[in-house]
Amino acid sequence: MGLKLDFKLPLETGLKKGEEKNLIFDVAILGGGPAGMTAAVYTARKQLSTVLISPDLGGQVLETSGIENYLGYQYVTGPELALKFSEQIQQFPLKLAQGERIDQVRKIDDIFNLKTDANREIKSRSLIIATGKRSRKLGVPGEEEYRGRGVSYCAICDGPFFKGQPIAIAGGGNSAITAAIDMLQMGSAVTVVNDSQGWQADEILMQQVKDKVQLIDSHTIKEISGDGRQVTGVKIAPVKNSEDKILEVAGIFIEIGLTPNTENLKGVVAMNKYGEIETDCFSRTSQTGVFAAGDCTTVPEKQIIIAAGEGAKAALAAYRYLKNIPGGD
């Protein structure tokens, strides 16, 4: 139930079927979130032949309700900001393989050979990885069974389906409390369940839910139950014992963090134990000619404005690399 941007790309922007067979791009960008789209603007302006490969344009921004900390906008919704980004990249002479993901990356004679899940093979002299992250799962009984039938990972996407109904939210950070605020505005009775002692969300957000939602910390979610069609309850228990309790809810939003979209890049570049790509201050990775930016990297503070800035850095580093300018090797 995700949000999608309703626009059509100019015909000359899309990478036509088979067009890639006779091309070697200067830069291939993996990912169409803020980091990837910003990188595309910079490489295109540097007159580097560029292809952007991504399942969507917007990434996690598409699942963000209100944004108040992106410079130039006092307030903008996630989909609105993603649309602005996508409109801007369409002004440049780049190619876009939208709706595709990378399955395999190989380096042969200093050329990167990329295979997509659409069975397309794309070649490039350099690579910028900006694949972002995705929602982490609880891994409890009932989660997969009721996914899309009461289990959701996006309150802004699916919240309207639960307007005025009791719902649970799993998590204790900013995303969980923001989801609670969104659901309060829809008239829902909200219970937030956090498996840690104490809350990790910013105090300014906690003040907005104070005395308005039921906050339960030091409890784990053990099971999501339903009637075969829809979620009807969530079983929780204190972390230190097993005194189960059932919360009667119509749905649960899981907001417990994110996992990097880097599985298909293992062995290509060095990563930390969380699957984040290790980069230096020039956005370089362990592999010559490969740069990385945004939430899929070890750069701290996963924010839209930081991802965009890192995308610009990665693009400029790729340019220096391709032009043999010191600082880009």
Active site residues: 154, 157-158
Residue the block writes with tokens 């228990």: 237
Q: Is-contact 130 61, C-beta < 8 A?
A: no
- Rg (Cα) of the chain, in Å, rounded? 21
Q: What is the DSSP string of 286-300?
A: SSTTEEE-STTBS-S
Nearest to 81 by CA among 313, 304, 295: 304
Residue the block writes with tokens 């204190």: 238
CA distance 261 to 241: 35
Burial annotation 241-262 (CB, 10 A radius, 16+ → b, else e): eeeeeebebbbbbbbbebebbb
Element of type H or E holding 78: helix 78-89
Cβ-based burial of 317 (10 A; exposed 0-12, middle 13-18, buried ≥19):
buried
Q: Is-contact 289 111, C-beta < 8 A?
A: no
